[in-house]
Amino acid sequence: VPAAEPTVFAVSASTGALLWSTVVDTTPVAKISGAATVDGNVVYVGVSSNDEGNANCCSFRGKVVALDERFPV
């Protein structure tokens, strides 16, 4: 089931159990459109916009979010 907001999920590689999840943006047009990258204990996730073609087009700026995999926000 897709999340309503752009959400990062961490699962156990051995059991598939959910370890944590966190919403990375609350803007209605925000979306995650690529894979996360892990470096050490940091998970990097790109957040982009899905506002092309709507009345409020182009009001969102993309970003990269860095999450500590041990202590997500």
pLDDT at position 40 is: 93
Q: What percent of the chain has pLDDT over 90?
A: 53
Q: Is the pLDDT of residue 53 over 90?
A: no
The pTM of the full predicted model, rounded to 2 decimals, is 0.80
Q: State the Cα–Cα distance between residues 26 and 28, nearest whole angstrom.
A: 6
**21-47 per-position pLDDT tens digit:** 999 999 888 999 899 999 999 999 999
Neighbours of 29 (CB within 10 A): 17
